[in-house]
Structure 1
Amino acid sequence: MRQYAETGLVAIDLANTWDEYLDDPERLPDVLSLNRFCVELGVPTLSAPDADPAALPGDSDPDAESVGTARESVPGAGPVGAVDLDEVRAVRSRLREVLDGDPAQRARALARWAEEAPMRAVVAESAGTPVLRLAGPPAATLGQRLTVRAVTELLDLAAAGDWDRLRLCAASPCQDAFVDRSRPGRRQFCSTRCANRAHAAASRARHR
């Protein structure tokens, strides 16, 4: 089974829970799957005001039977329901809208999302130093917390100089997002799987 936490970034891994290679592309088909996603990404499923969602530990790849046990180690974890599943899928759709297009289009789409989302800037303390962070409303829903984390991660990628390296896979029908960490910065495919398929398809086309 493909794990959810392939990069550890909600902004990437949530976008990639739709896989066009599968007969059923939906990788979050039910609440159990959403629970597993939250465990792997270290996301508390109930509001935890004193917890830092970006710093919470997660299981790297728990199987379905161990999800309930693994979630007990996540501060603030609790049951999720169908409403949460619908909301998280909506967040995924908005996230994919942001990731589509060239860097300038993505920047404008991210700005609109951040402006419309229920979040605010707060000053937190880290090792005695004040830091500016984004936060959701009190008792934020799971979808709102995932939105805050995804927007924060995208801003961090931009600050690190990786905004132009944030891409969608060029191997149709794949639509996975990835960050190009290669030195030349010309990577087009999310994985070796997609690169091999694209090259094979190009070779067949040349020999027709």
Structure 2
Amino acid sequence: MDIPAPDRLVRLAVDLVNTRTLSPERLTSPAAVREFLLEHGESDPITLDEADLVAVRVVRERVRPVFHADPATAARVLNELLEEYAVRPYLSDHDGSPWHLHVAKPGATWAEWLAATTALGLASFVAGHGFKALAVCAAADCERVFANAAEKRPRRFCTPRCSSRTRVASYRARQG
């Protein structure tokens, strides 16, 4: 449960929120949460139960408003998460791992770790890029969120696929 690199922190937050969108729920079981954590660089052992599943979903829904809210509200949400879950960063080499940084309390659950880590990642990202760099896809049939650090190239869509689908739909509507 170490702190991933800064770009991974933001990706972790984005991907966590995107586990529930208009598409089916991705966090359907403790095994699905375990797979999500493994996909994001965490290593075994990862032991989760139904209570962990519920707690991770709660964290996800607490992080979600950061992408939808006005900057003042989003900042309040991040500050609340940091106050509730984060601790003064400390170095650890637990379980024989190389030295790494922790921001969640020792013995934190996976949900507590996700809350502290994603809040730190998003707060750091926003401090460097502003809240305008966090967005929700503009495609009518998508509600995925994304982070865009490229100031000179603003994005409206989460993927080129959503952008293309929207352009094609707009073209067809004009032709009809």
CA-atom RMSD, angstroms? 2.3
Q: 2:14 aligns with which of 12, 15, 19?
A: 12
Q: Distance in 2 between the 1:13 and 1:185 partners? A: 21
- Bigger fraction of residues in helix: 2
2:18–2:145 contact (8 Å) kept in structure 1? yes
Query: Is 1:167 matched with 2:135?
Result: yes
The corresponding residue for 2:120 is 152
Q: Which runs of 5+ in 1 are unaligned?
A: 1-6, 44-73, 126-132
- After TM superposition, give the deviation of residue 123 of structure 1 in Å: 5.6
Query: Is 1:31 matched with 2:33?
Result: no
TM-score of the superposed pair, with normalisation by structure 1: 0.68
Q: Which runs of 5+ in 2 are unaligned?
A: 1-6, 93-100
The 1:196–1:105 alpha-carbon spacing in structure 2 relative to 1, beyond 3 Å, is same
Larger RCO (CA within 8 A; separation ≥ 6): 2
Q: Distance in 2 between the 1:148 and 1:183 partners? A: 26
The corresponding residue for 1:118 is 85
- After TM superposition, give the deviation of residue 32 of structure 1 in Å: 1.8
The 1:118–1:197 alpha-carbon spacing in structure 2 relative to 1, beyond 3 Å, is same
SS at match of 1:187: coil
Matches within 5 A, 1:1-208: 8=8, 9-20=11-22, 22=23, 25-43=24-42, 74=43, 77-115=45-83, 117-122=84-89, 135-182=103-150, 184-208=152-176
Give the AA of the match of 1:92: R
The corresponding residue for 2:95 is none
Fraction of identical pairs, as percent: 31
Q: Distance in 2 between the 1:187 and 1:200 partners? A: 18
The 1:171–1:151 alpha-carbon spacing in structure 2 relative to 1, beyond 3 Å, is same
The 1:182–1:136 alpha-carbon spacing in structure 2 relative to 1, beyond 3 Å, is closer
The 1:137–1:182 alpha-carbon spacing in structure 2 relative to 1, beyond 3 Å, is closer
Q: Distance in 2 between the 1:14 and 1:121 partners? A: 23
SS at match of 1:167: strand
Q: Distance in 2 between the 1:205 and 1:114 partners? A: 46
